Copies of this chain bind each other. A is one copy, B any other.
């Protein structure tokens, strides 16, 4: 599945079928069963990663989630990440930068939210906003945006060198699917809070955003910090795919239960006497 999702060197998002399920033959019910089975595997790997960190192991995972509005980032966090122990997860949602954040380099606020050793870090939006909305809305001069791609590449290289396994995901939906999801938010009073009139303003720039994604992904894709384009019109598939990518990243680390740094027999005797 993963090689099918990996961003190609020439990326044309309009040509990607957002309702496809690459690498998975089953339908929704099979997908949901696979997700439940994968949750157990992911949970075990997460616990091993956390356990290993208590013995000084430095490795960790960072999942970067980027997407157009309504593409399902929240659902990934809820249903994929939410299936593992919250004590092993470090979640960061990046919203519009504050004045304080804007006064710093754009990677400053990112740096502070990096996962600690043993944690699975999840970024709901990320430093990529600075070359997505940053580019589309011209929030910075063109040459500065240009510089940011290189800054990101160097930054991620450094993260990988420090023990972070990076998985970058674009949840890719069609404009029609977004329209249907926004319509549902407007239909249901219990979903109104998820809707902002600004969502339409961004939607009207759909094509500009797609081009900005293509550029950002092409400029920053690397074998050590790969981008995956996950078709997301089918929520169940997107969740299964991201879960599978996370499992793969953790299996790459292959965390082991730490060996006891105490004498087990001595401790058994102390416990018996207590």
Contact = CB atoms under 8 A, between A and B. Distances in A.
Contacts of A259: 192
How many copies are assembled?
2
A195 interface: yes
B86 A85 contact: no
A77 B86 contact: yes
A210 to B, nearest CB: 15
B77 A182 contact: no
Contacts of A200: 267, 270-271, 274
A51 interface: yes
Given A257-B190, A259-B192, A182 B271 contact: yes
A89 B271 CA distance: 36
A162 interface: no
Contacts of A204: 274
A257 B268 CA distance: 54
A186 B89 contact: no
A87 B260 CA distance: 34
Contacts of A91: 86-87
A109 interface: no
Contact of A268 (B51, B86, B183, B193): B183
Nearest to A54: B193
Contacts of A77: 85-87
A186 B267 contact: yes
Contact of A89 (B86, B194, B264): B86
A93 interface: yes
A207 B163 CA distance: 44
Contacts of A235: none
3 interchain residue pairs of minimum CB distance: A192-B260, A51-B193, A193-B258
21 contacts: A51-B193, A55-B193, A74-B87, A77-B85, A77-B87, A78-B85, A82-B82, A179-B274, A182-B271, A186-B267, A192-B257, A192-B258, A192-B259, A192-B264, A193-B260, A195-B267, A196-B262, A200-B267, A200-B271, A200-B274, A203-B271
Interface of A: 51, 54-55, 74, 77-78, 81-82, 85-87, 89, 91, 93, 124, 179, 182-183, 186, 189-190, 192-197, 200, 203-204, 257-260, 262, 264, 267-268, 270-271, 274
